[in-house]
Structure 1
């Protein structure tokens, strides 16, 4: 790893500690720079804004979520079972992150509000996995053929949005969310079944 990449990693670690302890809104670029014993001007050479640091911090943590989604898709078995498990895993992972640190919730809100393209990229990644499971469900003879699987995956995302974004469920208990997700997945599953 080169020196510039190492410095970027150190910045993300220092910013992450501040975000998790003080929150996004109470963290300043000068405080991050001070933690690293560097000038604020030097920090701006690596990241033009605090929001850029927040987005890079979030990107660094996407690997875990991507690995979980991929593991479900590749786990084998019925596409219908995997489709349910896929959404359950996302809910449980996100709820746990937010439950462990309310400051992460604030960070997620800032990124989704200020950088909607970030959320759109995440949704596009998820749609690739959904389309694959839909294709496999059709190949199994389980799901009805559909003209546009990407559009169908997008509609599934619209239906399950509440379980993906803590901004939509942060006042609910996990047991309530699990029950609602099961009911929602029942409806989706019935709508997908081959007639």
Structure 2
């Protein structure tokens, strides 16, 4: 995977204080007005910088959004990692993966609706941060499958990559923010029924 996938393009000196100030102001501005309705000029006025000065640190509005999106996705992954870390079996890890990732995404939607718009745009347009997030989810699924096969919980006949992809496609409507906003009503049921169905299909 490209090492730069999660790193937005920058210009000028790496002045972290100024970058953080831009990100903090942008987070508040996007949270109030929404990502798509905000321009770099709006951010410049809110921070008290010139637009040209902001462009010294970020190539575009999307580059700023990438940092915010990456931060939010990292928060979701921290919740997921904590949920599955102590699971006693691969089967339980799969259940917790579905539940934690769908609930974390739903919480972001309801508690930070304007910032959720950034995640939805990022998912719709497949920003690098979103692609990296999906790669990470696939890797978790694959490791759970490997653990389950080694422990004798899961069948071993189906190719690993095929099974991984199938499970990811099932969970994707609850991973991808652009799709999740249309599936919020089904999250509680999906978090229970989908892993249960998958686990029955994985039985040896």
**Structure 1 CA distance for aligned equivalents of residues 162 and 17 of structure 2:** 41
Q: Which residue does 1:100 correspond to in 2?
A: 111
Q: Identify if the C-alpha distance between structure 1 residues 56 and 169 changes in structure 2 by more than 3 Å, giving closer, same or farther.
A: closer
Q: Which residue does 1:85 correspond to in 2?
A: 96
Whether 1:191 aligns to 2:201 is yes
Q: Which residue does 2:190 correspond to in 1?
A: 180
Q: Which residue does 2:25 correspond to in 1?
A: 14
Deviations 1:99-151 (A, max 9, x none): 11221232122212334443221111111111111111111111011564344
CA contact (8 A) 1:83 1:133 kept: yes
5+ residue gaps in structure 1? none
**Structure 1 CA distance for aligned equivalents of residues 92 and 181 of structure 2:** 26
Following superposition, the deviation at residue 76 of structure 1 comes to 3.4
Q: Which moved more, 1:81-90 or 1:156-165?
A: 156-165
Q: Which residue does 1:37 correspond to in 2?
A: 48
**Structure 1 CA distance for aligned equivalents of residues 149 and 58 of structure 2:** 45
CA contact (8 A) 2:83 2:97 kept: yes
Deviations 1:62-111 (A, max 9, x none): 33222222223321301101101111000111001101122123212221
TM-score (norm 2): 0.85
CA contact (8 A) 2:155 2:202 kept: yes
Whether 1:24 aligns to 2:70 is no
- Secondary structure of the 1:8 match is helix
Q: Identify if the C-alpha distance between structure 1 residues 146 and 31 changes in structure 2 by more than 3 Å, giving closer, same or farther.
A: farther
5+ residue gaps in structure 2? 1-12
CA contact (8 A) 2:121 2:178 kept: no
CA contact (8 A) 1:33 1:40 kept: yes
Paired residues, number = 192
CA contact (8 A) 1:69 1:129 kept: no
Q: Which residue does 1:145 correspond to in 2?
A: 156
CA contact (8 A) 1:163 1:181 kept: no
Normalized per residue, the structure richer in helix is 1
